[in-house]
Amino acid sequence: MNPWLHRFAVLTALATLVLVGIGGLVTSHGAGMAVPDWPNSYGYNMFTFPVSMWVGGILYEHSHRLAGSVVGFLTLVLALWLNGRPAAKWLRWGSVVVLALGLAASTSAKVKLDNVLFLVGTGGAGFAISFFWPQIEPISQRLARFGLLALVLVIVQGVLGGLRVTALADWLGIFHGTLAQCFLVLVCAIALVTSGWWARLKAGPQPVPVPAKLRNFLLVTTLLILGQLALGASMRHQHAGLAVPDFPLAHGKVWPVADAASLEAYNAARNDHREFKPITAGQIHLHMAHRVGALIVFGHVLGCLLKLRRTVGGAHPLARGAAGWFALICLQFGLGVWTVWSNKAADIATLHVIVGAASLVTGALLTLLAATVWNGHSRAAPVVQEHPPLAPAAGL
Amino acid sequence: MKSLILTLTAVAIVAGTASAGDVTGKITLKGTPAPEKEIPVDPTCGKLQAGKKVMTRFYVADSTGGLADCVVYLEGAKGGAAAAAPVVIDQKGCEYLPYINSAQVNQPIRVLNSDPLMHNVHPTPAMDGNKEQNKAQMAGGAPLEFTFAKAEKFLRFKCDVHPWMFSYVSVFDHGFHAVSGKDGSFKIAGVPDGKYKLVVEHRKGGKVEKDIEVKGGAKADLDMAAK
């Protein structure tokens, strides 16, 4: 295994986590629409947008776009690297298309020079690079496909983010926020699978296997976290602030009243300078579903930890990982409460997003390890090898 | 001479049967609302305010209790003079001025930028048929115009660059509406004689109503309780 490929995958994963965090800042500061156009920024190519204009909400939104571009570029490189020599041809032809687009744009008076130069420059650079990189054979067929999937996802994610702005569609933001979490999981999984630790685990002696029932429980718990993050994204993209401003009670009750008269009273009592949209009964129910979901996730992660300790022992790497997972969930629970008590302060709400993403990734990687390394099946020969010849589809 | 007599007779008949007048009055705030909050504006906008604190504008009342920014209208009214002049909202010192406005459907709402910095103007209607838009407006940029085809109360305009900037426009499908001034007074002009329900709506205070009869005009004072 090429350690630099693994390091690059880790870099991509970290950049993605940073990107998720900046995305959290964008919604926490209500800045998602601070740059009304896309892919340009106030008419500029996003890479030539003057720093002096990065003010107020623009700072968050424009930074998010630039960070997204960085992650997109890293993912492109990662996908090409994982696909090896055959990908050089895609890079070459893709670059020719970009170059042709740039040249065509140069004939239009509507396209600004910075956009033309950007297209011609990137197309030309990609075309030149394609003659000497990548030259290695694909790491494995399956990893190559995952690299391609990551590339497709990051493109879809970028387009979703852009359409959310240009189509003024809040609901697209929910998919944008949720897909970001799925993409992060995929990139982290690639980083794990390309590591030397993974290869050693696959090749090493079989420790105590994780029973199938428990593997399924890990998977269900991880999916519950994903559902919980999707609920959170739905709440953030309502742009209505806190639908329930108190905790542990909810509008002073165990379960809040959401009739018309109560809603009028709740909205009249909101004196926040951010002047959120009026809250609705649906938003209150969504908020309460997120609270109930938090309890369910907490119970499930605790269940995973206890079951793992009982079945494979506390010293097992999975059990130790689950202990870290449970610690993350406790932290996440606390941040959720703090988000309410702080009236959704932007920094706290953003930390809540980041730790939520980390919780999902931890669950997903533990599930992956349980399903592929400690599954109790007979050990196959390690698939991830140093520059192996192109092999038929094999396990990770 | 014959046609002149006929014309004068017709004018006299119309004037005698279709009299109209102004509905005037004052809105008074009762009770003490929660204190306004200081808005944490960014340093650039702070400089434009020359050291003045920027506060929320939930309840703006004068020393006599006259409550500004109430939308006053005749419920269910029809007609009224078509509004030709646009409603003008300015962005000054990173605030929308005025904060509360009223307009007729399809009446132009013109947004100016008097600030030496850029804003985005982002109306967020809730009514189907009224289009959400988001437009950039550079420093010294040309005015932006918006129109809305459907009646809607407190249609929100916001700036996402400066997330504390808001203005609201109540859009009506008739011409009998007004917004109370700094002293709480209001005037709805040219109301035909008849019986009406006068409604006062405040963004925080809610709604109060009063039945009125217009005979060449009417006067109605109302109280709005702080919430």
Whether residue B58 and residue A271 make contact (CB cut-off 8 A), yes or no, is yes
**Of how many residues is chain B composed?**
227
Interface with chain B: mutation pick from A33, A49, A272, highest number of B CBs within 10 Å:
A33
CA torsion sign for B12, B14, B18, B19 is negative
Residue A337 has what pLDDT? 98
Question: Is the CB of residue B72 less than 8 Å from the CB of residue B218?
Answer: no
Domain of residue B108: give its range.
22-225
pLDDT, tens only, B161-197? 999 999 999 999 999 999 999 999 999 999 999 999 9
- For residues A199 and A140, give the distance between their C-alpha atoms in angstroms, rounded to a whole number: 13
Whether residue B161 and residue A264 make contact (CB cut-off 8 A), yes or no, is no
CATH code of the domain in which B36 resides: 2.60.40.420
Residue A385 has what pLDDT? 43
Nearest alpha carbon to residue B206 among B223, B186, B182 = B223
Q: Per the domain annotation, does B14 fall within a domain?
A: no
**Rounded mean pLDDT of B79-86?**
84
Q: Which of A29, A43, A269 sits opposite B163 (nearest CB)?
A: A29
**Please, which residues bridge with residue B193 across strands?**
none
Whether residue B42 and residue A37 make contact (CB cut-off 8 A), yes or no, is no
Whether residue A36 and residue B162 make contact (CB cut-off 8 A), yes or no, is no
**A347 vs B: CB within 8 A:** no
Question: Is the CB of residue B39 less than 8 Å from the CB of residue B54?
Answer: yes
Residue B2 has what pLDDT? 56
Shortest alpha-carbon distance between residue A57 and chain B (Å)? 4
**Please, which residues bridge with residue B111 across strands?**
B89, B144
Q: Per the domain annotation, does B127 fall within a domain?
A: yes
Residue A239 has what pLDDT? 78
Q: Per the domain annotation, does B133 fall within a domain?
A: yes
Residue B18 has pLDDT above 70, yes or no: no
Shortest alpha-carbon distance between residue B39 and chain A (Å)? 6
Question: Is the CB of residue B123 less than 8 Å from the CB of residue B87?
Answer: no
- For residues B93 and B72, give the distance between their C-alpha atoms in angstroms, rounded to a whole number: 28
Under-50 pLDDT residues of chain A: 380-396
Question: Is the CB of residue A33 less than 8 Å from the CB of residue B139?
Answer: no
**B153 vs A: CB within 8 A:** no
The b-or-e profile of B99-120 (16+ CB within 10 A means b, else e) is bbbbbbbebebebbbebebbbb
**A25 vs B: CB within 8 A:** no
Whether residue B161 and residue A56 make contact (CB cut-off 8 A), yes or no, is yes
**A32 vs B: CB within 8 A:** yes
* Integer Rg of chain A from CA: 23
Q: Which single residue is written with the structure tokens 């979490």?
A: A181
**A43 vs B: CB within 8 A:** yes
Q: Which of A55, A168, A264 sits opposite B161 (nearest CB)?
A: A55
Whether residue A269 and residue B58 make contact (CB cut-off 8 A), yes or no, is no
CA torsion sign for A183, A188, A191, A192 is negative
**B162 vs A: CB within 8 A:** yes
CA atoms within 13 A on the CB side of B147: 11
Q: Per the domain annotation, does B6 fall within a domain?
A: no
Which residues of chain A have a CB within 8 Å of the CB of B39? 273
Whether residue A36 and residue B134 make contact (CB cut-off 8 A), yes or no, is yes
pLDDT, tens only, B58-74? 999 999 999 999 999 99
Nearest CA in chain A to B137: A42
Question: Is the CB of residue A171 less than 8 Å from the CB of residue A204?
Answer: no
Shortest alpha-carbon distance between residue A260 and chain B (Å)? 13
Nearest CA in chain B to A269: B227
Interface with chain A: mutation pick from B120, B138, B154, highest number of A CBs within 10 Å:
B120
Residue A225 has what pLDDT? 98
Whether residue A36 and residue B122 make contact (CB cut-off 8 A), yes or no, is yes
Shortest alpha-carbon distance between residue A167 and chain B (Å)? 9
Nearest CA in chain B to A56: B161
Residue B148 has pLDDT above 70, yes or no: yes
The b-or-e profile of A255-266 (16+ CB within 10 A means b, else e) is ebebeeeebeeb
The encoded tokens of residue A29 equal 């500061």
Q: Per the domain annotation, does B121 fall within a domain?
A: yes
Residue A241 has what pLDDT? 79
Which residues of chain A have a CB within 8 Å of the CB of B44? 55
CA atoms within 13 A on the CB side of A277: 18
**B134 vs A: CB within 8 A:** yes
Residue B103 has pLDDT above 50, yes or no: yes
Residue B51 has pLDDT above 60, yes or no: yes
Q: Which of B118, B134, B160 sits opposite A30 (nearest CB)?
A: B160
Whether residue B135 and residue A36 make contact (CB cut-off 8 A), yes or no, is yes
Residue A240 has what pLDDT? 74
ipTM exceeds 0.95? no
Residue A377 has what pLDDT? 72
Interface with chain A: mutation pick from B37, B44, B115, B160, highest number of A CBs within 10 Å:
B160
Q: Per the domain annotation, does B2 fall within a domain?
A: no
Interface with chain B: mutation pick from A271, A274, A280, A344, highest number of B CBs within 10 Å:
A271
Strand ranges (E), chain A: none
Chain A (252-311) residues lying within 8 Å, Cβ to Cβ, of chain B: 264-265, 268-269, 271-275, 277
Chains A, B: CB contacts under 8 A, how many? Answer: 71
- For residues A124 and A142, give the distance between their C-alpha atoms in angstroms, rounded to a whole number: 30
Confidence of residue B15 (pLDDT cuts 50, 70, 90): very low
Whether residue B227 and residue A58 make contact (CB cut-off 8 A), yes or no, is no
Shortest alpha-carbon distance between residue A176 and chain B (Å)? 19
Q: Per the domain annotation, does B12 fall within a domain?
A: no
Structural domain tally of chain B? 1
- For residues A89 and A86, give the distance between their C-alpha atoms in angstroms, rounded to a whole number: 6
Q: Per the domain annotation, does B60 fall within a domain?
A: yes
Residue B207 has what pLDDT? 94
